[in-house]
Structure 1
Amino acid sequence: MKARNILLSILGTLIVPIYLTSCGEDRWPAYAAETATDRWIDDSMRVWYYWNEEMPPSKEVNYFLEPFKFFSSILSKKDGKNSVPYSTIDSLVNVTRSIPYTDKSYGFQFTIDRVEDNDTAYYAHILYVAQNSPASAINMERGDWIMDMNGEPITKKNFAALYGSGAMKLTVGYYDVPGDTIIAYKVPREIAAARAVNDNPVFYKNVYERAGKRIGYLVYNHFSAGITDNSNEYNNDLRSASQYFASNQINDFVLDLRYNNGGLLSCAELMCALLAPADKLGQELGFLEFNTRFNPRQVPFNLDANLIQNGANLNLNTLYVITSDQTASASEMVINCLKPFMQKVVLIGSTTEGKNVGSRAFSSPELMITMSPIICMIYNSKSESDYDKGFKPDYAINENSNLAQFLPFGDPNELLLSTALGIIDGSIELDKKETRSLKVTTIANSIEKRASHAVRIK
């Protein structure tokens, strides 16, 4: 079996029977029904979990715990950050496909921000709006502020309604540059009830001409192959985008991953094949390291030219990547795995998440439960995986540092894009001080919620 086939078979969602045969210890046969879910979790984790050797011995665990508590009780302290594990568990009823929160959504991603020193009321800042969504139908766009819902202020207790609920009236505002404040538009907007939304990750593309250079720009928001788990619309759109850039004969390229917190390994492989130097195609891109039960423990993946299909390899020697603290996992894998093949990978924005591991989904229809434990660590071709604290940017800029430049994607004056263009054409003033604007403190980010149901390498 070829390495790529091994990868695809390992990384698919696995439907696991209630019991495995070799791991769990049935110490209470009279309570088989009561302990079935916990024993299924325990058995699966002892086979697949990357840190399985750090799990407590079977004779010391309590199989009568509520399943979510049981799952937490057997996780390694190395799993996740800030006491929040990367491994997840949920009811099978709540998980529908590999891009969560698009089956019931208003079609916008947002942050919940406290403005200035107001500790009780919050605003939702719109990061981007999906096409043909309830939000796009009322002309919401990146940079808008939702100031209240149905006449009620946004609070920590009620903001979750913005992830997707019924029709509501929204007071929408904008940042007023001269006044350095947020002002409401005169007429509230009626947004329709949340519904299924097609959040195409190939969100925006353009080519800019600067100082005799042709610069390609792509906003890519998550590593997903298609609308469903078994389709490839998004991958084909990515291939079409690469043809667009190739036909425009670009000299430089800016990949905007600021809101991309992961997705499928296969999509990340495709991205690398499209961007890498042409003479590197066919070489080993990196490998996945599994726990010590696996033989082989390390499984390689390559810069596979066959993935390109009707796309185009852009043959880049330098890559400019826009990042944020939401840039994670598969996004970081692309950065890490392309570095050995590029003359330069230049990062612009904020330090990335630092997630150098991958997960896989396991589901039990009988028990109505699904979990996505971490099963591997991701390395590049130089055996490097030392970005657990994130990649620090070469040019550190917080996109909220100047709200006057928090503009729609593609606007050449948008803060991070304008910085990238200035670096490429040599016009950027490296010693220029940041322009300060209205102070905002983010307390929640919908991008984080989008990643909470990992189902593949994420």
Structure 2
Amino acid sequence: MMTKLRKIILIPALSIVFISGFFSCGVDRWPEYAHQTALDTWMYDIMQQNYLWYQDLPSYNDVNLFLDPASFLSKVKSKSDSYSFVDSVMETPLPTYGFDYSLVRSADIDTAYNALITYVIPGSPAEAAGLVRGDWIMKVDTSYISKKYETQLLQGTKARDLVMGVWKEVPVEPEEGEVDEEETTVYKVVPNDKILKLPAARVVEDNPVHKTEILTVKENNSDIKVGYLMYNSFTAGTKADPEKYNDELRQISQEFKTAGVKYVILDLRYNAGGSLDCVQLLGTILTSNARLNEPMAYLEYNDKNRDKDATINFDPTILGSGTNLNLPGLFVITSGTTAGAPEMLIGSLFLKDSYPVVSIGSATKGQNVATEQFVNEEFLWSVNPVVCTVYNSKHDENGSFVPNADLKISETTIDGITNYSEFLPFGDPNERLLKVAIGVIEGTYPPKKEEDTTTKAQFKIEKSVISPASRRFIGGGGLKIK
């Protein structure tokens, strides 16, 4: 999200340190270098005032002001800081097919790979072709996928034919001369005689509200309604419509309320962060009614900016057309990508005795600080330094959220064996992690162990690829202060 531009005035006494170095034999050489050093100098002054760990910055005399922005930031920021970043504000969306994929080695051809579709952007060429999460691509046009050429094949721009396959259990053929007394089977990707027409790449806008479903599940032998929300970024809206996606959350809250939803399963596995105002809105929707107007988080800045310290409340006035769901607790699906804003949400909602949060999947990244964007209009760059520490409703720092041992679940591993049979579209009740969440609600997970007599080949993901920059969310990247 764009913030108000900050006008930075260099202190003359400090400026002299730099200017003196550019005079030689009475010749003023400052004009030759001023433009080259201005951006780094601007970044440094921003951080001197606003950076949470400004005491760790090197002195002016010890910095190199001729570096590119990313290199400069990496040289001056605190060694413990893995969250501050720089970015161009001139990003032009790239054309994309609109899908992410992971490469899995072929069981039958040593040099070939199969591409497992992991994410499809709604309204993209990939969706138009009929691709869904869990599909397998075996060939692009007439070529098998090789690691050497997969970028050209799968991240090109022209229309393609996709030769598809399916992950299934097939009999193992005995070696020549061997007698197989007991038939064994193996899971692998095999052709399914299906060819999809992938249109040419184009610019695509992804929606952070990726998928919603209202599911009917059993609790104590009675049917109840459970809301599922796949939410990929805490992004409020677009430049043209700043509240576009927040308004979708408000609408979903009303739909869940009307349906009589008792629990919500919030899928944050692909959520890498976003804006604090979105956290506040979603938290106010999901919390119990008794906590409205109570603190959900605290922000504490450096000693130069104590006037910015703030208490963030569960605030019913921001609900607008939305509603509070008065939930008794929350089920969340998480991964190592889940960081910043989603962690603030989880930590703020969780109260051990009155509002449990059940985490399913894998441990979150662990981020308890927020960044703020400062834009330089002249150079069209922004610096996003860490500006404050975020504390939860108990005024404690959140660390990584780690699921209980029984709920540390892989999307692609079943009973310790690589198995993609439950790698399905988001919102499908049989999708691996959603199935576990439903099982926890119904009391059927974890299941009783049964002996498995089949043989499953270990074909693990070797590389995962994300669609080009057109899918980047403006509000993503940890936790941002608006």
Task: Please classify the TM superposition score into its range, dividing by the shorter chain length.
Answer: 0.7 to 0.9
- Structure 1's unaligned 5+ residue stretches are 1-10, 81-85
For residue 425 of structure 1, report the CA deviation from its aligned partner. Answer: 1.2
The match for 1:155 is 147
Task: Give 2:392's aligned amino acid.
Answer: N
TM-fit CA distance, 1:350: 0.9
- 8 Å contact kept, 1:349–1:396: yes
Aligned to 1:137: 128
Does the alignment pair 1:391 with 2:388? no
How far off its partner does 1:386 sit? 3.4
Partner residue of 2:234 out of 197, 200, 223? 223
Q: How does 1:309-320 map to 2 (within 5 A)?
A: 309-320=320-331
Q: Which one of 77, 80, 90 corresponds to residue 78 of structure 1?
A: 80
Larger CA deviation: 66-75 vs 347-356: 66-75
- 1:25 matched to 2:14? The reply is yes
Rounded Cα–Cα distance in structure 2 between residues aligned with 1:446 and 1:322: 20
Whether 1:256 aligns to 2:267 is yes
Distance 2:54 2:114 in 1: 42
Could you tell me how far apart the structure 1 residues matched to 2:351 and 2:359 are?
Answer: 15
Report the Cα distance in structure 2 between the residues aligned to 1:183 and 1:443, rounded to whole angstroms. 20
Number of residue pairs the alignment of both structures matches = 434
- Equivalent residue for 1:243? 254
Match of 1:293 in 2: 304
Q: Which residue, 73, 88, 100 being the options, matches 2:85? A: 88
CA contact (8 A) 2:97 2:201 kept: yes
Q: Report the equivalent of 1:195.
A: 202
Write out per-residue CA displacement over residues 172-217 of structure 1, whole angstroms, 9 at most, x where no aligned residue. 4332234411234435434223323232222222222313132222
The more displaced of 64-73 and 416-425 is 64-73
Q: Cα distance, 1:432 vs. partner? A: 3.5
* Corresponding residue for residue 366 of structure 1: 378
Counterpart among 110, 126, 150 of residue 101 in structure 2? 110
- State the AA in 1 paired with 2:55: E
The 1-side partners of 2:319 and 2:475 are apart by 28
SS in 2 for 1:208: strand
Whichever residue aligns with residue 420 of structure 2, its letter is L
Q: Is the 8 A contact 1:109 1:446 kept in 2?
A: yes
The corresponding residue for 2:459 is 439
Q: Does 1:376 align with 2:376?
A: no
Larger radius of gyration: 2
TM-score (norm 1): 0.85
- Bigger mean CA deviation after superposition, 61-70 or 176-185: 176-185
Give the corresponding residue for 1:59: 61
Asked if structure 2 preserves the Cα contact closer than 8 Å seen for 1:285 and 1:337, the reply is yes
Equivalent positions of 1:405-424 (< 5 A) are 405-424=422-441
Aligned equivalent of 1:4: none
In the other structure, the counterpart of 1:457 is 479
Kindly state the Cα deviation for residue 427 of structure 1 after the two structures are TM-superposed: 1.7
For 1:234 and 1:47, the matched residues in 2 are separated by 33
In 2, Cα distance between equivalents of 1:357 and 1:201: 22
Instruction: List alignment gaps of at least 5 residues for structure 2.
Output: 20-29, 171-185, 414-418
How many Å separate the matches in 1 of 2:301 and 2:391? 11
TM-score, with normalisation over the residues of structure 2? 0.81
Deviation, 1:286, is 0.5
* Native 8 Å contact 2:103 2:113 kept in 1: yes
Give identity over the alignment, percent: 36
Judge conservation of contact 1:147–1:171 (CA < 8 Å) in 2: yes
Mapped to 1, the partners of 2:13 and 2:191 lie a distance apart of 59
Task: Select which of 339, 343, 359 maps to 2:355.
Answer: 343
Question: What CA deviation, in whole Å up to 9, does each residue of 1:88-117 have, x standing for no partner?
Answer: 223333x35xxxx6x633222334455679
Amino acid at match of 1:204: T
> In the aligned structure 2, how far is the partner of 1:328 from the partner of 1:104?
27
1:440 CA displacement? 1.2
Q: Match for 1:173 among 160, 165, 174?
A: 165
Secondary structure in 1 aligned to 2:339?
Answer: coil
- Contact 1:105–1:195 at 8 Å: present in 2 too? yes
Closer, same or farther in 2 for the Cα pair 1:453/1:419, shift >3 Å? closer
Asked if structure 2 preserves the Cα contact closer than 8 Å seen for 1:221 and 1:260, the reply is yes
- 1:167 to partner: Cα distance: 3.5
Tell me how far apart the structure 2 counterparts of residues 52 and 120 of structure 1 sit (CA, whole Å). 51
